[in-house]
Amino acid sequence: MMRIQKKSIRSYEMDMCSGPLFMKIVAFAIPLMLSGILQLLFNAADIIVVGRFAGSESLAAVGSTSALINLMVNVFLGLSIGANVLVAQFYGAQRMKDLEETVHTAILLAVFGGAALIFLGIFFAVPILVMMGTPEEVLPLSVLYIKIYFLGMPVTLVYNFGSAILRAVGDTRRPLYFLLFAGVINVILNLIFVIGFSMGVAGVALATVISQCVSAALIIQCLVRSDAPYGLRRDKLKISAEKVKMIVKVGLPAGIQGAIFSISNVLIQSSINSFGSVAMAGSTAAANIEGFVYTSMNAVYQTALSFTSQNYGARKFERITKTLLYCLGLVVVVGVALGDGAVIFGRKLLSIYSSDPQVVEYAMMRLQIICGVYFICGMMDTMVGSLRGLGYSVVPMLVSLTGACALRVVWILTVFGMSRTLEVLYLSYPVSWTITFLAHVICYIVIRRRIAGRQAANII
């Protein structure tokens, strides 16, 4: 069995299967947090530029498309999670031929998946946006944004799959550097297209696509130049049917979960739309601020996923439990600090997005209800990361769909139906997070006992 030879070019990798665990978790998570925060800063730049220089209708148009974009993209991003788990498990087990096949299969899946998304985005955007109740004055701008945005789907998926491969071997720094460079380009192009050329939402979408091309090119260059077993070679680019099945086994349930989560969010967005464009703009601004909290907590989820996967591949079961406990503690600290900070400094932050006092009031309402207890969502996702790292993806999918998605739909049809206020609508989030987290804890205990039994029987 071929062993990994340590070379200077691999100094970005991290040995997750030995040595002090907590500090490695922190060292792994921090670049992920910074990457997510940077990405949101660049996305915020889109919204700020649009809100300030193209008006509230353009701001509402960009914001109203996020749930639809997530709905269409999440299935394919779920497959990148499958690739991450597989690469990490093979890397931990030192199965280098399997690792090589997985990497090349994953990149081709990204390209083909992105091509499919171009078709879906262009041909199905209008009917879905209409079904969501997007106001007539906003609809043309929303459609224009979606159509341009989806032209960049192949490169978006290539970057996400490539980043997942690097994360699986412990490298979270180079994706951060690539994102920083591409993000700066995005901001510069925003200013040129929106302010200089008065292109409005089209300029924002075009700037996003170009910057995504840059980040994808950098990630591919990184993989091509690598001499490690996860390096990308043109002559080895082919799809392995076996690896596709394995990626789909883990990734498809994650993608379906994300897509159905997005359906529940589409329903919530539709309910928000019924309160008018000002409420929509306020929700868009607040959701953007919430995104900074969520993406920081999501870095801990990705950390739990990668560390659990590698240690499961290496059969270091004692480190898996420690990983979960450390990650749960870390995500609570991050969620409380950033969530409460968003509420405390909310009005000052929101003034960056809009000078309309009504927009700010609507946004503050959302922040106060959601951000104060956002850490519960982080704990819920961290449990999911650990379960998926163990190779169990269907169980957390079913629990999440029942506890979060179905409950939100029921909430909208019952509680919100009886009291149609935004406060009641937003309360569906913390209620569903709490119930789903507790269900995941029960599932984890059952699965770990099952794994312990198989280990004792020398089945794994």
As averages over each run of 10 residues, the pLDDT of the chain (460 residues) reads 44 80 92 84 74 69 71 79 90 88 94 90 81 76 85 92 91 89 89 84 88 94 88 89 90 80 73 81 84 91 92 89 95 95 90 82 90 93 93 88 83 87 89 93 92 69
How confident is the model at residue 6, as a pLDDT? 43
Taking the C-alpha atoms of 300, 302, 303 and 308 in order, what is their torsion angle to the nearest 10 degrees? 130
pLDDT value of position 123 = 84
Is the distance from CB of 167 to CB of 32 less than 8 angstroms?
Answer: yes
What residues have CB less than 8 Å from 362, skipping those under 6 apart?
Answer: 278, 279, 281, 282, 283, 286, 422
Structure tokens at 261: 């989560």
Length of the chain: 460
Q: How far apart are the first and last CA of the chain?
A: 19
Query: What does the pLDDT read at residue 41?
Result: 77
pLDDT at 64: 67
Residue from 60, 46, 80, 352 nearest 211 by CA = 46
Domains of the chain, by residue range, sit at 20-456
Three-state SS string across 79-135, please? Answer: HHHHHHHHHHHHHHHCCHHHHHHHHHHHHHHHHHHHHHHHHHHHHHHHHHHHHCCCC
CA proximity to 125, closest of 63, 201, 72: 72
For residue 197, give the DSSP letter: S
Q: Which DSSP string corresponds to 321-386?
A: HHHHHHHHHHHHHHHHHHHHHHHHTHHHHHHHH---HHHHHHHHHHHHHHGGGTHHHHHHHHHHHH
Burial 118-154 (b: 16+ CB within 10 A, else e): eeebeeebbebbeebebbeebbebbbbbbbbbbbbbb
For residue 397, which of 167, 78, 70, 69 has the smallest C-alpha distance? Answer: 78
**What's the confidence (pLDDT) of residue 159?**
93
For residue 221, the model assigns a pLDDT of 93
Provide the Cα torsion 12, 15, 19, 25; round to 10°: 70
CA atoms within 13 A on the CB side of 353: 34
**Full DSSP string of 230-279:** T---GGG----HHHHHHHHHHHHHHHHHHHHHHHHHHHHHHHHHTT-HHH
User: Which pLDDT score, from 0 to 100, does residue 460 have?
Assistant: 56
User: 50 and 62 in contact (C-beta within 8 Å)?
Assistant: yes
